[in-house]
């Protein structure tokens, strides 16, 4: 014979199962997983006699389903991160030559800059200092810093006509000055 608790759980299951599944589906976007979550929650509740003394068991189960759905998402994200480790990049000789050529172009473009503009560019772009700190270090005004940056970018833009190189200049310059 069934106990009163088992009857209560059965009636809750019959009345709310679809609602709980839809609630879980709202988080997981997969009905099979949503049904699994609801069933797992109900099994835990039945095996632990957790409905004793709960005023609103339907709401309790709904919250438990939400929490279990969010936990499943979190677990899936951790697994996805482990699976998505980037493969080791195998550079060919040709790719190395292209990279060296691009580095040489950037270095030449930086050497074309006037000394003051080059120093401002290095401090602001490469080292990431704010205009104010760059101005303090160099003993110039913030507007002068802005002027030299504008001038540096203009010269680099004309020197590096290849937009690919210009768009990547900050990254390549970072490699030049930080890795040395």
- The domain segmentation of the chain, as residue ranges, is 4-83, 93-178
Other beta carbons within 10 Å of 173: 20
Q: What is the pTM of this model?
A: 0.44
Distances (CA, A) of 167 to 85, 106, 130, 179: 26, 11, 21, 20
Q: What is the pLDDT of residue 117?
A: 92
Q: What is the pLDDT of residue 88?
A: 54
- Average pLDDT on 108-129 reads 85
Q: What is the pLDDT of residue 148?
A: 94
- Average pLDDT on 78-106 reads 68
Share in percent of the chain as helix, strand, coil (round to 5): 80, 0, 20
Closest CA relative to residue 17, chosen from 33, 31, 44, 38: 38
Q: Give the contacts of 43 (CB within 8 A, at least 6 positions apart).
A: none
Closest CA relative to residue 138, chosen from 106, 129, 111: 129
Q: Whole-angstrom Cα distance, residue 27 to residue 66? A: 8
């950037």: which residue's tokens?
106
Query: Residue 168 — very low, low, confident or very high, per pLDDT cuts 50/70/90?
Result: low
CATH number of 93-178: 1.10.10.10
> Roughly how many angstroms between the first and final C-alpha of the chain, as a whole number?
79
Instruction: Report the percent of the chain where pLDDT is more than 90.
Output: 15
Q: Whole-angstrom Cα distance, residue 119 to residue 154? A: 15
Asked if 138 and 71 touch (Cβ cutoff 8 Å), the reply is: no
Q: Please check the confidence at residue 152 and state whether its pLDDT lies above 80.
A: yes
Q: Which of 22-36, 64-78, 89-103, 113-127 has the lowest mean pLDDT?
A: 89-103
Task: Choose between 3 and 171: higher pLDDT.
Answer: 3
- For 179: left if phi > 0, alpha if psi spans -120 to 50, otherwise beta; the answer is alpha
Distances (CA, A) of 14 to 10, 58, 69, 107: 6, 11, 20, 72
- Average pLDDT on 141-162 reads 86
Q: Please check the confidence at residue 172 and state whether its pLDDT lies above 60.
A: no
Q: What is the pLDDT of residue 162?
A: 61
- Residue 156 tokens read as 């680099």
Q: Give the contacts of 148 (CB within 8 A, at least 6 positions apart).
A: 116, 117, 119, 120, 121
Q: Please check the confidence at residue 160 and state whether its pLDDT lies above 80.
A: no
């Amino acid at each position: 014979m069934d106990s009163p608790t088992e009857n209560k759980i059965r009636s809750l299951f019959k009345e709310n199962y679809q609602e709980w599944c839809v609630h879980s589906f709202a988080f997981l976007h997969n009905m099979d997983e949503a049904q699994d979550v609801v069933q797992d929650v109900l099994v835990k509740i039945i095996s632990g006699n957790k409905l004793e003394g709960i005023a609103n068991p339907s709401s309790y189960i709904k919250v438990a389903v939400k929490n279990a759905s969010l936990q499943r998402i979190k677990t899936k994200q951790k697994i996805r991160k482990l699976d998505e480790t980037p493969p080791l990049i195998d550079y060919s000789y040709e790719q190395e030559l292209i990279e060296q050529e691009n580095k040489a172009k950037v270095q030449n473009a930086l050497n074309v800059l006037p000394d003051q503009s080059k120093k401002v560019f290095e401090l602001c772009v490469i080292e990431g200092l704010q205009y104010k700190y760059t101005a303090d270090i160099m003993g110039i005004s913030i507007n002068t810093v802005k002027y030299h940056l504008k001038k540096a970018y203009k010269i680099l833009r004309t020197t590096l006509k290849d937009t690919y190189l210009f768009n990547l200049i900050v990254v390549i310059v970072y490699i030049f000055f930080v890795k040395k």
